[in-house]
Amino acid sequence: MAKACFYEILEVERSASSADLKKAYRKKAMQFHPDRNPGNTDAEAKFKEVNEAYDILKDDQKRAAYDQFGHAAFENGGGPGGGGQGFGGFDSAFSDIFEDLFGMAGGRGRRSRANQRGADLRYNLTVTLEDAFSGKEEKITIPRAVPCDACGETGAKEGSSPEVCATCNGIGKVRTQQGFFMVERTCPTCNGKGQVITDPCDKCHGAGQVEETKTLSVKIPSGVEDGTRIRLAGEGERGRRGAPPGDLYIFINIEYHPIFQREGSTIFCEIPIAMTTATLGGEIDVPTVGGEKATLKISAGTQTGKQYRLRGKGMPVLQSSQVGDMVIQARVETPVNLTKKQKQLLRAFADECGDEVSPESSGFFNKVKDLWNDLTE
């Protein structure tokens, strides 16, 4: 029985590009895959045909031979799988699609571990609100991995050297066939390094790196906010075999402040105000986050919750000449520990004033009185 045309099997034109071939193969392979068609011998046969067709057409030289001589170019054992069985080309053909779908490229194009860029490091730094206001220079000590000078980063004792992993042949990955799938995993013997160390270095114990501490000076800019990230280029872990080092990222955390609360560049502060000052008005000194005193003028009749704004007394705006405001919220304080005479004076004051000096209080109770009257009618 004559074999079907490879182009017809994949349902593509003879002028199809490599991308078109791969797309068509992916579609057909998924359609006839045995896992999707359990027990279907016809589907299994189709699947083998599809793999054989793609294995030939994806190779430019084989495709050129096929276009010129047809199936005859691969007869007598010359074709994939020997005599046109087709399944022998599964490893090379279907793995291309598997790699494309799942990003598993095996040893081909594998990035060498020997010259990888050093790892980035993270350091959490807590500063006070006052430090965030004025800015400061902070010294930090960080641990990081550096190349081992005893073994020259090889991880092997002096006089010996790492050996190529016999399990993966230095690739760092191994392939196992599960049914019709070819699965690629990190080599369990060398953990993906492609090499094994039989006589490890006494200093680094085969790691090729040792840990050291380094003290760095970090400039905290004025106006820095909670969660700000500062990057110190090249201060991460050293790269292997002359590769560039990683970076150090410092994450800023602002300490809780018992007096001031911050929202962006605005500082909020609740200030207790004596009843007499709130009633008659006056001036009081209030603290600022910069450590200075500011004079605040209290208007007569100030109630709890009233806010006063002090322009330019808030936080600096990061990398800007602007400065935010400070918002003072009044909290009128009720007198306590009164003497007998003071109590008498307050009672006389209350008798003298009546309800006129407390309009909100008298208005509220008048509404309540109306409500009670409605309920009793």
The answer to whether 148 is a known ligand-binding residue is: yes
The answer to whether 165 is a known ligand-binding residue is: yes
Nearest CA-CA partner of 263 in 219, 218, 329, 321: 329
The answer to whether 204 is a known ligand-binding residue is: yes
CA dist., res. 7 & res. 52, Å (int)? 11
Nearest CA-CA partner of 328 in 303, 305, 348, 351: 305
Q: Which residues contact 84 (CB under 8 A, 6 or more apart)?
A: 3, 52, 71, 74, 75
What long-range pairs does 163-169 form, CB within 8 A, spacing at least 24?
Answer: 163/195, 163/196, 163/197, 163/198, 164/194, 164/195, 164/196, 165/189, 165/190, 165/193, 165/194, 165/195, 165/196, 166/196, 168/194
CA dist., res. 168 & res. 160, Å (int)? 21
Name 146's bridge partners: 210
CA dist., res. 176 & res. 190, Å (int)? 17
- Calculate the CA 124 to chain-centre distance: 15
The answer to whether 201 is a known ligand-binding residue is: yes
Annotated binding site for Zn(2+): 148, 151, 165, 168, 187, 190, 201, 204
Residues of the binding site = 148, 151, 165, 168, 187, 190, 201, 204
